[in-house]
Amino acid sequence: MTTQLKVRKIGNSLGLIVPKELFDLLHVQEGDTLHAVIDAEGGVRITPYDPQFEDAMKAFERTRRKYRNALRELAK
């Protein structure tokens, strides 16, 4: 899917005008936060998912497995 986005001046900044269909595809609505992720080739990916949160969850999973018994004891 290819969609053209219009760049407009908003105050002292620039903003993108995004069609409603694209917001529906991303399952976002007014007030939600989007993340722009720059890939290795210099392109930009816009996603509603925070890539730093994913990294934190992976680190938690490693820690949870390593300290499973200690966490179980703390939960008592």
CB 56 within 8 A of CB 63: no
DSSP state of 73: H
The candidate with the shortest Cα–Cα distance to 1, out of 27, 30, 21, is 21
Is residue 1 in a domain?
no
Is residue 52 in a domain?
yes
CATH number assigned to the domain comprising residue 44: 2.10.260
Reply yes or no on whether the pLDDT at 9 is more than 90.
yes
47: containing domain: 6-75
Reply yes or no on whether the pLDDT at 1 is more than 80.
no
pLDDT at 11: 93
Is residue 13 in a domain?
yes
For residue range 11-54, list pLDDT tens digits in order: 999 998 888 888 888 888 888 888 888 888 888 888 888 878 87
The candidate with the shortest Cα–Cα distance to 33, out of 19, 25, 23, is 23
Question: One-letter amino acid identity for 59?
Answer: A
pLDDT at 13: 96
Instruction: Indicate yes or no: pTM above 0.85.
Output: no
d(CA 49, CA 57): 13
